[in-house]
A = this chain, B = another copy of it.
Amino acid sequence: MDIESLSHENGGPFTRGWGWLKAMPEKLWAKAVDVAKKMKKLGEDDPRRIIHSLKVGLAINLVSLVIYIKPLSHDFRFENNAIWAVMTVTLVLEFSVGATLGKGLNRMLATLSGGALGVGVHCLATLLGTIGQPIVIGVFALMIAAAVTFVRFVPAMKARYDYGLLIFILTFCMISISSYGKQELHVMIKMAIQRLVTIILGSFVAIVICICICPVWIGENLHNLAATNMEKLGNFLEGFGGEYFNIPEEGLSNMDDKSFLQGYKSVLTSKDTEETMANLARWELWNSRFGFRHPWKQYLKIGALSRECAYKVDVLNSYLNSKIQTPSEFQSKIQEPCAKICSESGKALKEIAAELKKMTRTTSVNPHIVNSKMIVENLKSLLNTTWLWENANLQETVPTAAVVLIVMDIVPYIEKISEAIQELAFLARFKRVDARVYPI
């Protein structure tokens, strides 16, 4: 450290403070510009986010009209209940229709059942006098809260009814505990019903706004995600052969950016997203595109197969670091069928993805899969011939052979994916299209 900077650093708290202050507006401005840019990008990436934000504001205003239009001015109690509608609309209105419906239905049912149980416990407790009452309520609150909290750990319940169970505990405790000291059952019941009505109103407004204004169907997102994931894997495979063996492929000459080689990475970690989406999609009973009882579970099966495929693709990707510049004799013999398998597999996946997107169903087996299976068989017998290995440069042969094996190993997975998609098409009754022309 030189002396100048040392003296500068020790320039007294005032000098340092002044320097910091002087730099402050600039830093703040830079930070603000940065945040604004990020926000803009967030909106541009998915404009539905902006629409959703406005929908929330609109829904709150809509439901608050209940308070404005019916200003039973100083009737404190009514207003206090009407505010539950505002609260409900804020809590229930989610980005996707599935999440909104799930939360809305959960909230309504939980309020109804929790409130009813609370009134029941209140009736029981009033029979036992002023001292017995809080004890009975306390014991019930302890038991019910503990039991329901434990039920929330059950995976099947957590997936669909977590919010409802929480609201059940909440409503039950609120009704039973706040009833302490009040004897008038009819006042309590009136209050409970008023609250239920406002919660139904809030949920209803949230659901209507969510469905009627640019709805985001999570089921559609899941459907598209499944297709996009397959497309990404297809893009990788289609490009991999040419990339690894350094073959300039037709039509791909202008693909200078290698982003298609990285796209598959998101497939590796898609499990939790897919499960959440499938759980929410089940609430979307009346989605016009998919109809009633769409087989959402099948998407999880497809997702699992896509991931299995992606793990293999990830290993293939690691071999790209040692890609071939000038092919040896072994490689030149093997590269054509191997690249062909890759491109056929990739095309198969992309075609399956396109069919899935269009929601059509073909009875014929995908010709690209047939092709790639055929080439795999030929390649297997080629690998078993001795002359192939003569004069092979072994240092280069082994990695290439490993790549070939993995590529051959991917084909059965693609067949499985295709079968899973056909099963989905059958279960979901996708419309049939005529057998296509075979481009063999």
**A50 to chain B: which residues have CB within 8 Å?**
150
A112 to chain B, nearest CB (A): 18
Quick check: B64 and A138 within 8 Å, CB to CB?
A: yes
Question: Contacts A68-B180, A141-B61, A394-B386; is A170 near B311 (CB within 8 Å)?
Answer: no
Question: Contacts A49-B153, A177-B83; is A76 near B73 (CB within 8 Å)?
Answer: no
**A409 to chain B: which residues have CB within 8 Å?**
318
Quick check: A169 and B312 within 8 Å, CB to CB?
A: no
Closest B residue to A77 by CB, please name it. Answer: B76
Per DSSP, chain A at the interface is helix
User: Is A262 positioned at the interface, with any CB of B under 8 Å from its CB?
Assistant: no
Quick check: B394 and A398 within 8 Å, CB to CB?
A: no
Which of A84-92, A253-261, A364-372, A425-433 is found at the contact surface with chain B? A84-92
Quick check: B173 and A86 within 8 Å, CB to CB?
A: yes
Q: How many monomers of this chain does the complex have?
A: 2
User: Is A406 positioned at the interface, with any CB of B under 8 Å from its CB?
Assistant: yes
**A80 to chain B: which residues have CB within 8 Å?**
80, 178
User: Is A132 positioned at the interface, with any CB of B under 8 Å from its CB?
Assistant: no
B interface footprint on A57-91 (CB within 8 Å = 1, 0 otherwise): 11011001001100101101101101100110011
* A–B Cβ pairs within 8 angstroms, 30 of them: A42-B153, A42-B154, A49-B153, A50-B150, A53-B150, A54-B146, A57-B141, A57-B142, A57-B145, A60-B169, A64-B138, A64-B173, A67-B180, A71-B181, A82-B178, A83-B177, A86-B177, A87-B173, A90-B169, A268-B311, A269-B307, A311-B314, A311-B315, A315-B406, A318-B409, A384-B395, A386-B394, A388-B394, A398-B405, A402-B405
Shortest Cβ-Cβ A-B pairs, 9 listed? A57-B142, A402-B402, A272-B272, A57-B146, A53-B150, A53-B149, A53-B146, A57-B145, A269-B271
